[in-house]
Amino acid sequence: MTLLSVYSILVFLLLGCANVRVQAEQQCRLIAQNALAALDPSSTNAIGLPNGNSTSTHGSSATPTSTGATSAPSATVTSFNYGKDIIRGVNLGGWFVLEPWITPSLFNDTGNDAIIDEFTLGLILDKAEALKLLTNHWQTWITEQDFIDIKAAGLTHVRMQIGYWSIPITSADTNYTTDVDPYIPGAWPYLLQALNWAKQHDIHVILDLHGAPGSQNGYDNSGERGDPTWGMNATDVPRTLDIIKFMSEKIGGMIDVLELINEPVMYRDSQQQLLTQYYQQGYQLVRNTTGQDLQVMIGDAFLGVQSWTNFLTQPSAQGVFMDFHEYQVFNYPQLQLDFNGHINYSCQVLDQLRSYSQSNIFTIIGEWSVATTDCALWLNGRGIGARWDGTWQPNQQVFGNCTGLTGNMSEFSNDYKTFLRKYWEVQADIGEAIQGWVYWAWKVENADDWSYQRGLQGGWIPQGPTSRMYPNQCSG
């Protein structure tokens, strides 16, 4: 597919309507809520985006399905009372922001071990070949059937990830560069298609900016593995704010929650001050663009939620969520925990987050899983091993063999699956005690312990998200 045909899809859709993960020093890994004006075809620019301050209509006509057929979206999405209703959702990780551990086959298909993230994929691979590879991925990794299955699983939300390079911002929208090289743009129309699928199947959307210019954390989940430079020059942050404004203007009525940036890592006090200002400015941009209807989400930047006490609280700010990511696999002390230790640790997190949410802002655990090891292939980065079996770094503690702890669930013992069910329930209970939870992730190629879809099939995730076999694990 050519870039021209990709943008043709974009025009059609517009007119028709996815860790430390804990350690910072090493990669660890639609209905419009505001008033929406109808799109005038004459108002679109060269790439099919509405000009000026016009907003996108959503769900007003048929949308393309994963098979190329069309289906009419439903008229409305069930209303959701944020702060009172519990968010129960799943991340569509690895779709619009590649992560090698989620789709290792895509990276193997490049035939080049030096391609370790989406940045190097665009840098090393022939542009046409890279676009072909990505287009096939965008078309097939998540389809409309996944939205149907997510709804059938009783979930209310999906959290979708997007990189700055996929936002078709133009020089009319910013005073800063719009160059995204070496990244390969083109995911935007597929994002729009996904928003229509969500609307059609009565699923609310959290959209998070998963990759920012320069990388906000240096992990492959930001698009670029290496030294993060976001916030270290005069342009990255204001450029990112223009991108937030663009998304608010163009699709603010098609989503429910906009997360300003995912997992920023702030190594110095000055960077936390910068992030504080970014959150404040980003919040105000969203409010100026969409009014009070769109929820705004921020993250704790691995500083702990208490570092954000009295920040963006009512009455000076409205509709703000804290996104806390809960993983217990990316450092040696947590890997030492036995099964009961993981349960007990989760109960401590529950108490901390409940206390914070009651006196500050709405809070969710926006990423978590039932994994107890870092054994999933390339979880710590392509070509990097696991702490658990000693392949990550030499002369470190080794906990055991990875067999039967990740990979295909056919190798999981009954006792292990029983624990996974307990562990899923206690972590879901964290979210139930605050304002909600979003599991990571819906699909993973070779790590069933991370997959919600496979967990449903294997029985350690219940068919109804409020069903409990092991209730009140934190009350003892």
pLDDT-derived band at 77, boundaries 50, 70, 90: confident
Residue 42 has pLDDT above 70, yes or no: no
439 SS3 class? strand
pLDDT at position 476 is: 66
pLDDT-derived band at 8, boundaries 50, 70, 90: very low
432 is catalytic: no
pLDDT-derived band at 129, boundaries 50, 70, 90: very high
* Residue 211, beta-bridge partner list: 163
Residue 71 has pLDDT above 90, yes or no: no
The predicted model gives 8-34 an average pLDDT of 33
- 224, 249, 263, 326: which is the annotated catalytic residue? 263
pLDDT in tens, 195-209: 999 999 999 999 999
Residue 47 has pLDDT above 80, yes or no: no
pLDDT-derived band at 52, boundaries 50, 70, 90: very low
Show the tokens assigned to 431.
């979210």
The predicted model gives 251-266 an average pLDDT of 97
pLDDT-derived band at 75, boundaries 50, 70, 90: very low
pLDDT in tens, 78-101: 999 999 999 999 999 999 999 999
pLDDT in tens, 198-251: 999 999 999 999 999 999 999 999 999 999 999 999 999 999 999 999 999 999
- 367, 411, 432, 445: which is the annotated catalytic residue? 367
pLDDT at position 140 is: 98
**Identity of residue 148:** I
82 SS3 class? strand
**Comparing C-alpha atoms, which of 199, 159, 195 is closest to residue 452?**
159
pLDDT in tens, 342-370: 999 999 999 999 999 999 999 999 999 99
Task: Pick 1 or 121 by higher pLDDT.
Answer: 121
Residue ranges of the domains in the chain? 3-458
> Where does 3-458 sit in CATH, by number?
3.20.20.80
Residue 122 has pLDDT above 70, yes or no: yes
Residue 449 has pLDDT above 90, yes or no: yes
The predicted model gives 35-50 an average pLDDT of 28
Exposed / middle / buried, residue 468 (Cβ in 10 Å: 0-12, 13-18, 19+): middle
Q: Average pLDDT of the chain?
A: 87
Residue 221 to residues 5, 211, 465: CA-CA distances in angstroms?
Answer: 27, 7, 27
144 is catalytic: no
Show the tokens assigned to 138.
């965008």
pLDDT at position 28 is: 35
pLDDT at position 18 is: 32
- Report the predicted TM-score, pTM, of the whole model to 2 decimal places: 0.87
**Tokens 């676009």 — which residue?**
131
Other residues' Cβ atoms within 10 Å of the Cβ of residue 301: 21
pLDDT-derived band at 407, boundaries 50, 70, 90: very high
**Comparing C-alpha atoms, which of 47, 52, 64, 77 is closest to residue 13?**
64
